[in-house]
Structure 1
Amino acid sequence: MPRLPLLAVLLTSSLLLSGCSILGSSVDDASEYSDADAPAVEEDDDFGTVEIYDVLEDGSLSPEATGTTLEVWDLFREIATPDFAAEVLLQYRVGDAPDSDTLAYVYQDEDPDYWILAANLATAEDRDLLVATLIHEYAHILTLSTDEFDEAGTCAPEEEMAEGCPAPDSAIAGFRDRFWAGYDDAPAVDNDDEDVAYEFYLAHEDDFVSDYAATNLVEDVAESFMTYVLEESAEGSGVVAQKLQFFDEYPELAAIRERIRADLGL
């Protein structure tokens, strides 16, 4: 029987939450702001109408956020550290979409040194799920930052990613070479087809912390790192245990794990 990782429990929680509003109107009511202080709004494919906040040099938000919007931001700053959030994040976007199966996402700005975080406040009441989600997104920023990549065209075509070619000493290149290079049925590095991912997961169920991790290399790294942070230790010799133990080989990532666990009392 495959082990039931912590993430499987968290994902089950997210499915139970979908379809019902657990926070009422999670996006702060625009009536709380004066016209000058109201956040800009924009339509988002995942979250519907989102509010947009700029991240200032000290890590605070403009306009000033309140309520659940601020609580989620403060939790991300605690996970990533205030200095990191201020240095790397340009924008923070929030929506309230209880029917969406997207909990949060990050993406690079036109200047790839900077990132935007978007969060779905509809699931923010489930703290365990929220912590796991924000650690996952933080993992994306850590492992897809520009200093982890060389210029496009400096690696084999099948190894090239949207961000360029993973540097040979990067965590994502090491993870790829150790855990993905041996598959002859692996999804493409940019795969986002859920059916393809699930078929691959079923063929190699014991190799992944969750079915979502089988989507592509990038999601496997983020899901595995999230589980590495949340679980007390990686025991055993199976592929999942090896993936969690892998991050110990990167002192910076190992130190981040210990800091997060200490700061959040895990």
Structure 2
Amino acid sequence: MRRSLVIVSIVLAALLVVTGAVAAGIGIATTLYAAVAGGEEPGERQTSGDGDAPALEDDADFGTVEVYDVLEDGTLSPAASGTAGEVWALFVGLVGEDAAGSSILQFKAGDAPDSDTLAYVYQDRDPQYWTLVINLATADDPELLVATLVHEYAHVFSYAPAEFDAKAVSCPTFEVVEGCAEPDSYLWAFYDAFWSGYAEHPDLENVDADIAYEFYLANEEDFVSDYAATNIGEDFAESFMTFVLEESWSAVSTTGAKLEFFTDYPELVALREQMRAAAADELGL
């Protein structure tokens, strides 16, 4: 079993989308980064499945989860039904079949209404691949479900192997567990535009909620949510999520400038359009 490098979990307790403006407090979330020792993924296998039924696994956040392998064409093995199938179909619609099949190795689904965690992704030993774990209770709020899936996919593409040099001897940008950010990477450009000007900021891999909130309070107008102040990756993901959900914005403010940042990348503009089209019903577009 491949060693998981990083887990990123998101809790969005509130979603405020204001037409033409970005409201602070769009999401309240929590994150967990962990190196998983011994080559094991999070969760303990219960069953291996019978071919037609998914394997079951224990998950610390969601209890028992169903485990599906993701095939190259973006379909699941075994095929998922019910809410799990609907959530996966939405994710594939958001990101596209090719992206789903080439970046997601496994899809895990649990139903934990009492859990604060909505979803998380973690990277495989081969950093091209990720596992997406979803709390199916999120599906009760379609807009929140879309926001959650968009946020998680922002982690997937912004921490893709091409974005980092894992074997760099020296690093002229910034270095995190994935390696040295490439000079043309999304996160380096985002850091240079929005984080480099702070005299002090949390560690770029910070997971301490108290540190994040203190930083947020000191710079509230700079972030689309308090959770975005956690670290560079969460700021990027929350900002991209808002970029997808918002109809329009003003680039005069820092939060608006963060959304405008993504318009410099034609592929991200196209992804936004694809995501909004795929989630038109859920977002009421």
Instruction: Mark yes or no: TM-score above 0.5.
Output: yes
Map 1:230-245 → 2, pairs under 5 A: 230-245=245-260
Helix, strand or coil: the match of 2:140?
coil
Residue 90 (structure 2) aligned to one of 71, 75, 87? 75
**Contact 1:10–1:129 (Cα < 8 Å) also in 2:** no
**Contact 2:90–2:278 (Cα < 8 Å) also in 1:** no
**Structure 2 counterpart of 1:18:** none
Map 1:1-266 → 2, pairs under 5 A: 5=22, 8=25, 11=28, 35-156=50-171, 159-265=174-280, 266=285
- Structure 1 residue 63: Cα displacement: 1.5
- Structure 1 residue 117: Cα displacement: 0.6
- Structure 1, unaligned runs of 5 or more: 13-33
CA pair 157-132 structure 1, distance change in 2 beyond 3 A: same
Q: Which has the higher contact order (CA 8 A, sep 6+)?
A: 2
- Structure 1 residue 260: Cα displacement: 1.7
Letter in 2 for 1:180: W
Helix, strand or coil: the match of 1:58?
coil
**Contact 1:154–1:165 (Cα < 8 Å) also in 2:** no
**Contact 2:191–2:232 (Cα < 8 Å) also in 1:** yes
How far, CA to CA, are the matches of 2:23 and 2:278 in structure 1?
Answer: 19
Letter in 2 for 1:144: Y
Q: Deviations over 1:120-174 (max 9, x none)?
A: 1112110000001101111111111001112344454982011111110111100
**Contact 1:171–1:250 (Cα < 8 Å) also in 2:** no
When structure 1 is superposed on structure 2, of 209-218 and 3-12 the one drifting more is 3-12
Helix, strand or coil: the match of 2:25?
helix
TM-score by length of 2: 0.79
RMSD over equivalenced CA pairs, Å: 2.1
Count of aligned positions = 243
- Structure 2, unaligned runs of 5 or more: 1-17, 30-48
CA pair 258-264 structure 1, distance change in 2 beyond 3 A: same
**Contact 2:110–2:136 (Cα < 8 Å) also in 1:** yes
CA pair 183-127 structure 1, distance change in 2 beyond 3 A: same
Helix, strand or coil: the match of 2:93?
helix
